Structure 1
Amino acid sequence: MAAAETVALVLDEESPLPESAADVEELACRLRGHVSQLGLVVPPEAPVLRRAQQLASAGIPEGYMPSRVHLVRLAEATQDLIAAVQAHDVPPAKPVQRRRWWKPPINVLRGAVFALALACVVLAASVPRT
Structure 2
Amino acid sequence: MAAAETVALVLDEESPLPESAGDVEELACRLRGHISQLGIVVPPGTSALRSAQQLASAGVPDGYMPSRVHLVRLAEATQDLIAAVQAHDDSPAPLTLMRCWRKPRVNVLRGAVFAVALACLVWAASVPRT
Q: TM-score range by the shorter chain?
A: 0.7 to 0.9
Equivalence for 2:107: none
Equivalence for 1:30: 30
Structure 2: state its 5+ residue gaps: 102-111
In 1, distance between residues paired with 2:2 and 2:19? 22
In 2, distance between residues paired with 1:32 and 1:109? 47
4+ residue segments displaced more than 6 Å: none
How far did residue 87 of structure 1 move? 0.5
How far did residue 56 of structure 1 move? 0.4
2:98 corresponds to which of 94, 111, 123: 94
Structure possessing the higher radius of gyration over alpha carbons:
1
The two structures have a TM-score, normalised by structure 2, of 0.80
Structure 1: state its 5+ residue gaps: 98-102, 123-130
Equivalence for 1:44: 44
Equivalence for 2:125: 114
Aligned length, in residue pairs: 115
Q: Identity percentage over the alignment?
A: 70
Q: CA RMSD in A?
A: 2.0
Letter in 2 for 1:108: A
How far did residue 109 of structure 1 move? 2.5
Equivalence for 2:61: 61
In 1, distance between residues paired with 2:3 and 2:100? 19
Q: Which has the higher helix share?
A: 2
How far did residue 19 of structure 1 move? 0.1
Equivalence for 1:18: 18
How far did residue 112 of structure 1 move? 2.0
Is residue 2:109 matched to residue 1:84? no
